[in-house]
Amino acid sequence: MARQMTGAKMVVQALKDQGVDTVFGYPGGAVLPIYDEIFQQNDIRHILVRHEQGAVHAAEGYARSTGKPGVALVTSGPGATNAVTGLTDALLDSIPIVVLTGQVPTFMIGSDAFQEADTVGITRPCTKHNWLVKETDRLSQTIHEAFHVATSGRPGPVLIDIPKDVQFASGDYVSPKAADTSRYQPQMKGDLAAITELVEAIEKAERPVFYTGGGVINSGPAASQLLRELVDATGIPITSTLMGLGAYPASGENWLGMLGMHGLYEANMAMHGCDLMICVGARFDDRITGLISAFSPKSKKAHIDIDPSSINKVVKTDIPIVGDVGHVLEDILKVWKARGRKINRAAVDKWQGQIDEWRKVDCLKYKQAGKVIKPQYAIQRLEELTKGHDRYVTTEVGQHQMWAAQYMGFEDPNRWMTSGGLGTMGYGFPASIGVQMAHPDSLVINVAGEASWLMNMQEMGTAVQFRLPVKQFILNNERLGMVRQWQELLHGERYSHSWSEALPDFVKLAEAFGAKGIYCDNPDDLDDAILEMINHDGPVIFDCLVEKHENCFPMIPSGKPHNEMLLGEASTQGAIEAGGAVLV
């Protein structure tokens, strides 16, 4: 029996029925009826952000750390356009979020009304799907379908644009169970013939490697468990993209570390030299492959992905398997066990020996000397002092992000939230707010650079208002470090606009918001300062002054293959040729 209610009430009811407990949002004219309904209930918490971009990143942080879809609610026009960066970020990193936008009344659409924007038009290329709901009777069905689309198959952001008159009008409410989601049903199970072909390849391989990505984490905790079982049972070394960190534990014996442009030497060399590459839920991004024509030239490549368009997009795949990572890994294990758990042990042991030789290069080596804190040292101390905690880490984008990925160890999935595909400066702080909302008792740290952090610093108001004890660990080099590094290597050391002048006093800034500020510029004081940050029950801005001209290594220069990494500050001259300079 369909229930009659207003569109605004339907929104709140549908969110409740979808199990939503938190909404990140910002009110405005076109969503006032929904805010009126939010006011009259207590099941859903609304977190008032200070900018709509913050709402979407917070929803992403919530989603990445829980595996549940994140929800943001913003008004029409500028509210919607401010959400665009977050939507694009979620699209590139396959994060399930549902964004609700208000819209001018249906009879005013197209009239250039106040705060009108063509929201579905603007967001069409940056959502997995979007809807403009013109009838209240369609609203609840649409919301339920939106949750289904956001979370099924390859997850992603969806947007529902709701005109104000649709919110006021009454209509029939349908429950999630009664809603029709039949038209979008991605394939979950992989083709068994292809899986068997992969198992045969695993049995014969002499130099196999697992190359895993965010798809393992998106598939759910069971997929990470299955991956661990498969890796440890076969003894095949494993590397991961930035997005996949934590799916296999950093302390695991087969762990190679992250691969790619700033990945570890042993990981990239293993990718280059392998004879069987098993890509699990990753997409051969350009940060991973380097020069495509010289990418892992001698390997047979298997690719497991739920999105058929990922396969053969960049790199030619020999064994394509379309399906959910969890389902496929389960079948691989089953088939491999049923065929007698065979592995080319002697060859794989020799391969492990080769990898151990590469490990000896110790590519993350650096020297902390003198009275200036090396950024790597700051991250390493942060890691040492927090790794025992129930910890979640977010990052902004740049050198600090790469150092965090290199020097921190993640033991579990959903503990590492970073903007991988889009590289959104300003992601980490609001994401940390979303994570802390989902995990109120956990230690949530945003590893930041001062420039990224300033991009969404207004969210300090949110953190203080909702008593979210997020720790903003800012590696302050008074530079746009990654831009500066590229200018040094590529643009003749002409540091065009890559320094941060007129920076705020971060301690005073924290205090101005009613939070705690900590300043540290001495390596001898660092441990105490970090402990003070951890032990403070409330939001903290930690201003960690670090070496200003440190570069992030190892590095595969643009236009170079995996085996031509730069390992340190030596011989960087002319490392990037003219052809590589056009790449980013």
Partner 1 sequence: MAALKIKKGSTSHSAYNLRPAFSDVQEKHTLAVLVDNEPGVLARVIGLFSGRGYNIESLTVAEVDHTGHHSRITVVTTGTPQVIEQIKTQLGRIVPVHDVHDLTVEGAAVERELGLFKVTGEGEKRIEALRLAEIFRANVVDSTLESFVFEITGAPEKIDAFADLMRPLGLVEVARTGVAALSRGSA
* Residues at the contact surface with partner 1, assessed by CB under 8 A: 120-121, 124-125, 128-129, 132, 149, 183-184, 186-187, 191, 194, 307-309, 311-313, 316, 320, 322
DSSP assigned state of 73 = E
**Is the Cβ of residue 128 or residue 484 nearer to partner 1 in the bound state?**
128
* Nearby residues of 233 by Cβ (< 8 Å), 6 or more positions away: 333, 336, 341
Say whether 582 sits in a helix, a strand or coil: coil
Q: Smallest distance from the beta carbon of 149 to partner 1, in angstroms?
A: 6
**Is the Cβ of residue 127 or residue 224 nearer to partner 1 in the bound state?**
127
Q: Smallest distance from the beta carbon of 581 to partner 1, in angstroms?
A: 22
Distance CA 412, CA 248 (A): 7
**Is the Cβ of residue 45 or residue 124 nearer to partner 1 in the bound state?**
124
Are the C-beta atoms of residues 544 and 477 closer than 8 Å to each other?
no
**First vs last C-alpha separation in the chain:** 57
| Buried residues in 450-483 as b, exposed as e (16+ CB within 10 A) | bbbbbbbbbbbbbbeebebbbbbbbbbbebbbbb
Say whether 9 sits in a helix, a strand or coil: helix
Q: Smallest distance from the beta carbon of 125 to partner 1, in angstroms?
A: 5
**Is the Cβ of residue 41 or residue 187 nearer to partner 1 in the bound state?**
187
Closest among 468, 470, 462 to 541, alpha carbons compared = 470
No. of helices (H) and no. of strands (E), the chain:
24, 20
Pairing mode of beta strands 276-280, 443-449? unpaired
Catalytic-labelled residue, pool 5, 37, 52, 560: 52
Q: Smallest distance from the beta carbon of 145 to partner 1, in angstroms?
A: 9
Q: Smallest distance from the beta carbon of 316 to partner 1, in angstroms?
A: 5
Q: Smallest distance from the beta carbon of 142 to partner 1, in angstroms?
A: 11
Q: Smallest distance from the beta carbon of 271 to partner 1, in angstroms?
A: 19
Q: Smallest distance from the beta carbon of 327 to partner 1, in angstroms?
A: 15
Phi, psi values for residue 172, rounded to 5°: -85, 135
Are the C-beta atoms of residues 206 and 347 closer than 8 Å to each other?
yes
Please give the distance of CA 539 from its chain centroid, rounded to a whole number: 22
Q: Smallest distance from the beta carbon of 166 to partner 1, in angstroms?
A: 14
**Is the Cβ of residue 175 or residue 309 nearer to partner 1 in the bound state?**
309
**Is the Cβ of residue 183 or residue 367 nearer to partner 1 in the bound state?**
183
Q: Smallest distance from the beta carbon of 342 to partner 1, in angstroms?
A: 25
Say whether 371 sits in a helix, a strand or coil: coil
Catalytic-labelled residue, pool 41, 114, 350, 411: 114
Side-chain-side CA neighbours of residue 100 (13 Å): 34
**Is the Cβ of residue 303 or residue 381 nearer to partner 1 in the bound state?**
303
Evaluate the CA torsion angle 252, 348, 276, 287 in order and state its sign: positive
Structure tokens at 199: 């198992």
Evaluate the CA torsion angle 250, 256, 259, 261 in order and state its sign: positive
DSSP for 440-462, please give it. TTSEEEEEEEHHHHHHTGGGHHH
Length of the chain: 584
Structure tokens at 577: 């040729």
Distance CA 398, CA 380 (A): 17
Distance CA 390, CA 404 (A): 17
**Is the Cβ of residue 77 or residue 320 nearer to partner 1 in the bound state?**
320
- Catalytic-residue membership of 459: no
Catalytic-labelled residue, pool 9, 164, 516, 560: 164
* Nearby residues of 176 by Cβ (< 8 Å), 6 or more positions away: 14, 17, 18, 144, 147
Are the C-beta atoms of residues 335 and 201 closer than 8 Å to each other?
no
Structure tokens at 49: 């952000």
Catalytic-labelled residue, pool 115, 458, 465, 487: 115
- Catalytic-residue membership of 114: yes
- Catalytic-residue membership of 482: yes
Class of residue 575 by CB neighbours under 10 A (exposed 0-12, middle 13-18, buried 19+): middle
Distance CA 136, CA 480 (A): 48
**Is the Cβ of residue 29 or residue 308 nearer to partner 1 in the bound state?**
308
Where would I find the beta strands (DSSP E) of 28-180? Answer: 45-48, 70-74, 97-103, 129-132, 157-163, 170-173
Catalytic-labelled residue, pool 482, 533, 555, 565: 482
**Is the Cβ of residue 180 or residue 577 nearer to partner 1 in the bound state?**
180
**Is the Cβ of residue 36 or residue 307 nearer to partner 1 in the bound state?**
307
Closest among 200, 269, 210 to 241, alpha carbons compared = 210
Active site residues: 52, 114-115, 164, 482
